[in-house]
Structure 1
Amino acid sequence: MSTEIAGPEAATGPGPGIQPLPSRFGLPTATALVVGSVIGTGVFGLPTALAAFGPVSLVAFVLVSIGALALALTFGALAKRISGSGGPYVYAREAFGEFAGFLNAWCYWITAWAGNAAIVVALVGYVEVFVNTEHQVGWSIVIALAGLWIPALVNLSGLRNMAVTQIVFTVLKVVPLVFMATVGLVFVKSANLGPFNASGTSIGGAISAAAAIALFSYIGIETASVAAGRVRDPERNVGRATVFGTIGCAVIYVLGTLTVFGTVPNDALRETSAPFTAAANAIFGGQWAGQAVAIAAVVSGIGCLVGWTLIIGEMPMAAAKDRLFPKAFLRTRRDVPSFGIISSTVLASALVVVSYTNFEQVFTTLVLLSVFTAVVPYLFSAAAQLYWLLVRGRKAEWPHLVRDCTVSILALAFAFWALAGSGYQAVYYGVICLLLGVPLYIWLKAGQREYNGAKS
């Protein structure tokens, strides 16, 4: 499959503050970046988390998928207006000013490297199905660090290698999930589903609680917009990649979860830590199918890390070009943001080591913070689109304006719902983490001798 890397002649006009990039990739790679970043190792444990609610959680998943699609359409519309790299950072800066843009870049950067630490810890569990089966901490750390630095090296070797790897790994991990979400439906037995609402609460309460879990499954749908400066014809392809990727993930999530619900009895599903493995063993018998799923989970985790490793360099580099992040993040190697990738991977490595040295609760809290810091840029992006429509969109035809405003409002509501679902503790510490960026902003502006955009 072609990775559609284009030369300088393929470049289209970059957004404000973004310089043309010498190499770009097309729609297949952009879509693979979205799918690869959204579908990591978490999907392989998702049905267990939802089993306590029963099949009613599928209703929640559908509702959340609609909200995620509204957000995807919003990112697509914003990419048509501002085609440079940076995604939520650029949208917030253009709509609400430099400080809002900086806070979005700061939040999203934390999301990226802390999220990578969470992904690789989950990845280790599947690797240890085959090696280090006694879970010796020292070797677990070694495996985790390898899981972080191999994707970093892939990215540092050049954009073309990253594009090829991302497509290959996305195909390899999506194929078994698609199989479970299609052929697996044939083996669904209604007796395994259990009661429609197994939560013991009202249906509305069960849907809300299940949605709080399902909401986190779509983090990453914005990655094509973050790397928009790398995408050929971004005004067209970023939106398409985001929507196609979100729809594909939604289908895999909903139907795959239904397959697991229908092939593994509800009581057993609540106890397993590898629901897709249990479903595969139930369909085919024996243990080989479960081991195959473990391999798919490892591939999925590595592919996810390859995509997110590019993103942890792209976002701060876009902000650094506008002097809203330290200029060190402008350093590149083979046309990739080398300093951003290396420094962020170092931070993720440190977080992994902490998580394996008797500080699991601290690590869990930081992972929840990464969810909070992802949703804040979502909220600003939806707000930026709504603001643009209300201020400049009045020249459009009323049916189109009403449609676009409805989508933006739905995306905004989705972001608020995600914030509420992250929990009080995550919101509390998340606000502190957000405001920790203020001293950095002061230091950057003081060094530039600027106040309110004017030189002192």
Structure 2
Amino acid sequence: MTAPASPVAESQARPVGPLQLLALGVNGIVGVGIFFAPAQVAAQAPGASAILAFALTGLALVPVAFAFAVLGRRFDSDGGPVVFARAAFGERASFLVGWVAYVSAFLSTSAVVAGLTHALAPSLGLAGPLGQRALASLLVTVLAGVVASGIRVSARAWTSLTVLKLLPLAALLIAFLALPGPRPLVAVASAMDTAWLRAGLTVMFAYQGFEIVPVIAGQVRSSSRSVPLATVGSLLAAVLLYVGLVWACVVALPALASSPAPLAESAGVWGGPGLAWWVGAGTSISALGICLGMMVTTPRYLSALASGERTLFGMEAMSPAGVPVRALAVTWGLVLLFVNLGDLSELFALSSIAVLMQYGVTAAALATLSWRRERGLRPLHAVLAVPTLALGLTLVAFGATSREAATTALTVVAGLVLLRLARPRVTAGTSPATGT
């Protein structure tokens, strides 16, 4: 009988602690979008309706987070939705889920890196496209170097960036709440003046990110406890933060819908120019945190889809420091290629459907495994899948564009081709020719 690993041994083998995992989830949710989303939502849900849209949409996503949490505590390996799909539906489904998630992730990473360097290059004296691409290439390489140095170093880096991005947002909330005098009342818009579904779609995409928590489960101490707490906790923390920030914007800016930088402008109202500058600078810090988080998690989709019944050019190989080195090298090369292609505004075309696919597959896997009573699940757990599937189908039906659908179809076809190229895994005593 094998003795259980000691806490010290587990800490060395699995360096990511619960607070660092929570920071990863918060970092994944609180990206660049929240700095601009209040104005976009206010255009569809004026006045206090914008606050309600953020609150209600956040609460609607809680069952989704619970679905990820329930499965996340039962799968002690990297991959998240990829390993969920493999257990419930087999190799082909998990491979396609992992491939779509991977393609979406590295394209989104390229777009965020390009956007960040486009904003920073002029202040660094790097004018023109050539300077911006050089800065983007340098940033991608530095981030890949940080990730390659080990999951322990990456965890410290993303935790530090998460704290740095939250500080100005917390300062804005404190300034808003601490200002003497009663908060002015803002009316809820009438139903005819509120496009609730479109507002909810915009808000939902601002809440994306908690689904990445189970992707690194194999590197987390006490993952059966840490993964559920970080998944649900990061979403609930974001709901409280977002509702407060949007409330501050709605009260401070009567013309919120037309504001180009609503958080920075409301910070100027509540805390003066200094706070406005700090919140504005937080946009770049937040983007940097998102870039690092994506560079950590994106290669793990690739390594997870290569760790099943078929091997894919050794992409599942893991370094002693807990890094899928070949998958990271491929991801670095692809992101480096795309940030040097020019306009990357179209690279987000796959992101919304990819995330909704992960929601749907996770819900379906939870329902399937619950009815089978596998992994300690019971049929009652399948109840969590119902609101998740309903939400995903609604958002795909009303929110997905034809361009997103076409991009997804092409990605799936490419995934099927790649699956054909993947070789069956050879285990000890097994012949690749005969399977015996």
The question of a shared fold, defined as TM-score above 0.5 by the shorter chain, is answered with yes
The within-5 A match list for 1:47-446 is 47-53=38-44, 54-55=46-47, 56-124=49-117, 126-127=119-120, 130-132=123-125, 136-185=128-177, 190=184, 196-197=188-189, 202=192, 206-266=195-255, 269-286=256-273, 288-324=274-310, 326-333=312-319, 334-354=321-341, 357=342, 360=343, 363-392=344-373, 402=380, 404-420=381-397, 421-445=399-423
Q: Tell me, in whole angstroms, the C-alpha distance in 2 between the residues paired with 1:290 and 1:129.
A: 20
Deviations 1:109-158, CA, capped at 9 Å, x for gaps = 1121112122223323543574459x632222233333333222211112
Instruction: Tell me: CA distance 1:39–1:145, structure 2 relative to 1, closer, same or farther (3 Å).
Output: farther
Deviations 1:18-67, CA, capped at 9 Å, x for gaps = xxx93331101111111112222222111122231223233332232123
Q: Tell me, in whole angstroms, the C-alpha distance in 2 between the residues paired with 1:338 and 1:364.
A: 29
The one-letter amino acid paired with 1:202 is: M
Q: Tell me, in whole angstroms, the C-alpha distance in 2 between the residues paired with 1:335 and 1:79.
A: 19
The one-letter amino acid paired with 1:292 is: W
Q: Tell me, in whole angstroms, the C-alpha distance in 1 between the residues paired with 2:85 and 2:388.
A: 15
- TM-superposed CA distance for 1:325, in Å, is 5.2
Deviations 1:204-258, CA, capped at 9 Å, x for gaps = x611011111111222212220100001111111011111111111111222122
Q: Tell me, in whole angstroms, the C-alpha distance in 2 between the residues paired with 1:155 and 1:89.
A: 21
Deviations 1:347-390, CA, capped at 9 Å, x for gaps = 22322222xx3xx4xx3333021221222122101111012222
Please, what TM-score do these two structures have when normalized by structure 2?
A: 0.87
- TM-superposed CA distance for 1:184, in Å, is 2.1
The one-letter amino acid paired with 1:442 is: R
Please, what TM-score do these two structures have when normalized by structure 1?
A: 0.83
Q: Tell me, in whole angstroms, the C-alpha distance in 2 between the residues paired with 1:454 and 1:258.
A: 65
Partner-residue secondary structure (3-state), 1:345: helix
Q: Are 1:39 and 2:17 counterparts? A: no
The count of residues paired between Structure 1 and Structure 2 equals 420
The one-letter amino acid paired with 1:326 is: L
Partner-residue secondary structure (3-state), 1:273: coil
Q: Give the fraction of aligned pairs with identical amino acids, expressed as a percent.
A: 23
The one-letter amino acid paired with 2:30 is: I
RMSD: 3.0
Contact conserved, 1:263 with 1:282, CA < 8 A, in 2?
yes
- List runs of 5+ in structure 1 lacking aligned partners: 1-5, 12-20
- TM-superposed CA distance for 1:181, in Å, is 3.4
Contact conserved, 2:36 with 2:262, CA < 8 A, in 1?
yes
- List runs of 5+ in structure 2 lacking aligned partners: 1-5
Partner of 2:3: none
- TM-superposed CA distance for 1:436, in Å, is 1.8
Contact conserved, 1:93 with 1:100, CA < 8 A, in 2?
yes
Contact conserved, 2:88 with 2:368, CA < 8 A, in 1?
yes
Q: Are 1:23 and 2:46 counterparts? A: no
